[in-house]
Structure 1
Amino acid sequence: MQTFQPLDALGRRIVIMGPTNAGKSTLAIAIGKKLDIPAIHLDQLRHLPNTDWQVRPDAEFHALHDAAILEPGWVMEGNYSVLMPQRFARATGVVVVDDHYLRRFSRYFRRTLLEKERAGNLPGNRDSIKWQMVSWIWKTRNNADRSRRVAKATGLPMVFCASLREVKALARAWNL
């Protein structure tokens, strides 16, 4: 059984990163509730509400991101590597999550087709299967090592979960 460092070791500005459909949004909400800090979903900042994932202009997205990281406490989930330097400069801890790409495919189809109310979804709950997302899940199927290297390079306290099973164990260990 994996042991995890205590949640308080990660501070009050926590980055959660990893591939799509690995459990980042759900974990962010649970940590946010536990620490009484906002859970910020970068996909919600990147995409316009009440759309089927229409991208927000870059300048507007960057401004929303940069304003969010100035807050005193947050748990922010998502990647968007172009904005990682300033996010990590403000962060106090990192959680990296992963899961097998076949389970992530399954979660994507189930969530998109069946779960209109879900963690990290856009306001308005308009969603459809996108082959670009299917391709992205395939393309990022082996990115866990890269995410771990990026997180380790920050020098911040870090937790790594290699599967949804480990994410659930982490949630139990932290009483989320």
Structure 2
Amino acid sequence: MTAADPRAGMRRIAVVGNGGAGKTTLANRLGALLDLPVTHLDALRYTDDWATVDEGTFVDRQRRVVATERWIIDGNSLASLPIRVAAADTVIVVDPPPVVCLWGLLRRRWRYHGGRHPDGVHDRITPAFLRYVWRYRRDHLPGVQACVAEHGGDAEVIHLTSHVRVDLFYEGLAHHLGRGAR
């Protein structure tokens, strides 16, 4: 890979953002395009029967992933975000408006009927989670941005504020790699 090849700087990618924003979809698409293994935080956080693992186990699992040379991790845990952004060369913030995120949650529920999805997401819609999604930009995004600024080092930060921007980013990368959009 050459310096002009975006893959040279995209070997360790943290994808963060609101619930229903499309993080997992983007992570899976990028994983296929860049030939990177994708890890979903939900898969590290929960057991197969939806039990939450203890925080120490959750953190240790993340540390093992980020210790490898190549990865994409998608998910939101702000408490452990420093682990991911400190090791990332690229941080992608997927940040469409809250209404779009809520629509994404509803579409996911309709498609999968709750539970654990094949793409690694746990679907647990509660009133508290809906409030979190609605208030994410106001209450949570500033903390994410501060964490990235503090721990992200030289990581490139890509802030995508709509699904159109996500698609344009992906298509531009695919075009640059000569693979066309997928």
> Shorter-chain TM-score: which interval?
0.7 to 0.9
Query: Which whole-Å CA distance do the structure 2 matches of 1:128 and 1:14 have between them?
Result: 25
TM alignment of 1:1-176, pairs within 5 A: 7-8=6-7, 10-51=9-50, 54-115=51-112, 117=117, 119-122=119-122, 127=123, 129-142=125-138, 143-144=140-141, 146-153=143-150, 154=152, 155-175=154-174, 176=181
Q: Which moved more, 1:140-149 or 1:80-89?
A: 140-149
The Cα of 1:113 is off from its aligned counterpart by 3.0
Moved more, 80-89 or 161-170: 80-89
SS at 1:82 equivalent: coil
Q: CA deviation at 1:163?
A: 0.8
Residues 138 and 91 (structure 1), Cα distance of their counterparts in 2 relative to 1, 3 Å cut: same
| Distance change in 2, residues 1:168/1:144 (3 Å) | farther
Output the CA distance in 1 between the equivalents of 2:31 and 2:95.
Answer: 20
The whole-number CA distance in structure 2 between the counterparts of 1:173 and 1:38 is: 21
**In 2, Cα distance between equivalents of 1:11 and 1:128:** 31
- After superposition, what is the alpha-carbon deviation per residue over 1:5-31, rounded to whole angstroms, capped at 9, x for unaligned? 974263201111111111111111111
Is the alpha carbon distance of 1:88 and 1:128 closer, same or farther for their aligned partners in structure 2, counting shifts above 3 Å?
closer
Query: Alpha carbons of 1:118 and 1:75: their partners in 2 closer, same or farther (altered >3 Å)?
Result: same
CA deviation string 1:26-74 (max 9, x = no partner): 11111111221211111221122243xx322212211111111111100
Which stretch of structure 1 is more off in the superposition, 141-150 or 57-66?
141-150
Structure-2-length-normalised TM-score: 0.79
Partner residue of 2:177? none
Which residue identity is paired with 1:163?
S
- TM (norm. structure 1) is 0.81
Equivalent-residue separation in structure 2 for 1:152 and 1:115 (angstroms): 36
3-state SS, counterpart of residue 79 of structure 2: helix
2:39 is paired with a residue whose SS is: strand
The runs of 5 or more residues in structure 1 that have no matched partner are none
| d(CA) in 2 for partners of 1:166, 1:55 | 33
